[in-house]
Every structure is written in structure tokens, then in C-alpha cells.
Amino acid sequence: MAAEGDLKLLGLSVSPFVVRVRMALHMKGLSYEYIEQDLFNKSELLLKSNPVEKKVPVLIHDGKTILDSSAIVQYIDEVWAAMGPSILPVDPNERATARFWAAYVDDKLFSAYVGINKATTEVEREEKVSEMLAVLEQLEEAFAKNSNGKAFFAGDSIGYLDLAVGCHLLWLKAQHKMFGVVFLDAGKTPLLEAWAKRFAETDAAKEVVPDTGMVMEYAKKRQAYRAAVAAAAATAK
């Protein structure tokens, strides 16, 4: 793998947004220094690099910081355009469409499965599961319309929207094991289910996506943290 200049990535291995960026870096064949972050005890480097949001991922290229996973992926694609496959579509309309659906996924899909993990009652969890299934049905239609009968959203190989959706699959798998919910169903979302299996077999996914057990462990850690904060707040009252 090769890179031009000093390239570092601050991340959390189970973050879907970090996974997205790491897959993009892999697609371009770029070498970089990966620096794992503890979001329960944020490092000075993270706070200095992203003082506004204090979140990962953060890409540092020759001392300059790039924030937000979507912006980082687009930056990678533009700066190293001559290396590896193009990540974003070349056609302006297709590029705009991919960006729209990527934003939709980050807004609707992410908030739904975070809500499932945060839910304190079965009623709350069922509401978020319903939201998740509705989003996946929309993505099923988007895949049918945009893939043109090919293997991936981008066509014959993975691209920007594949990364945008695919980076969230690790959390869907983890929540399936944690709560017994089937999100991708051959009866309701056959195209998306088949796509997810193909995506999991790509080199980028195999190289970057962490084990489901790691995701479950982190999810439980977040649940315990929220419970402790809630208990402390109740005691303070």
C-alpha cells in the first residue's frame, strides 16, 4: 500500500463511520497510521483535532484535519483520484443521487439503530425497530432503481453508496444477536439481503469490518454507561 505525505486516522474500530473511511482508504491502496481512540476518555489529540464535535473519524493529512466520514471519503477520492478505483460516480446526476441516499442512511438508519440500543422499554425498542425496517424498505427500492440489475449500488463493484450503507451492517448484525430482530429479510428486502452478503465478501469489508462480538461488547458498555449516568442523576435529585 502507498500514500503521499503523512496520513493518520483517529478512530474507533466499531464505529460505522470509521469503518466507512477505512474501507475507502483500503480501496485506494493507501497506507496510514491508525490511532484507536477511547471515547469514554478522549485523548488530547482528538480534542485538538476536532474541538467542535470531539468525534471520530478524523483524518490528518500532512498536518491538516478533515472531519466527517462522508467528507473524508470524498476527500480521499479526490486527492488520490489516480490511485485505485473511483469511489464516487463520475456522472454528476449519479453522484448527487449517491450523496442523497448516503445522507438519508446516516440520518434515518443510524438514528434508528442507536435508538434500539438506547431503548429502556420493549415498546420503545419496537418503535425503533419499525423505523429501521421502514428505512430498509426504502433502501430496497433505491437499490432496485440505482443498481441497474448489477451486484452493487455502484454497479459491478462497490462505490460511495455501498460504503455508506455497508458500514452500518456490523451494527445490524450485532443487534440481531442482541435482540433477535431480523432486519434484512429475503421475503421483504431480497435485493438488499443478497447485496449485504456480497458486500461482506468484498476485500474492503473483510479487511476492515470488526468481529460482531466487539460491536456487541461496545454496545453493552454504552448501555452500562448510560444506566450509570441516569442512576447518578436520580441520586443527585
Q: pLDDT by residue (tens digit) across 24-60?
A: 999 999 999 999 999 999 999 999 999 999 999 999 9
Architecture of the domain spanning 7-80: 3-Layer(aba) Sandwich (3.40)
Q: What stretch(es) of the chain map to CATH 1.20.1050.10?
A: 92-215
- In sequence order, what E strands does the chain have? 7-11, 33-36, 58-61, 64-67
Question: Residue 76: is its pLDDT beyond 90?
Answer: yes
Q: What is the pTM of this model?
A: 0.95
Q: What stretch(es) of the chain map to CATH 3.40.30.10?
A: 7-80
Give the contacts of 84 (CB within 8 A, at least 6 positions apart): 27, 28, 29
For 102-134, what is each residue's pLDDT tens digit? Answer: 999 999 999 999 999 999 899 999 999 999 999
Question: Residue 234: is its pLDDT beyond 90?
Answer: no
Handedness of CA 222, 228, 231, 235 (dihedral sign): negative
C-alpha cell at 34: 491508525
**CATH hierarchy code of domain 92-215:** 1.20.1050.10
- Predicted confidence band of residue 196 (pLDDT cuts 50, 70, 90): very high
CB neighbours of residue 211 within 10 Å:
13
Handedness of CA 71, 16, 36, 158 (dihedral sign): negative
d(CA 121, CA 40): 25
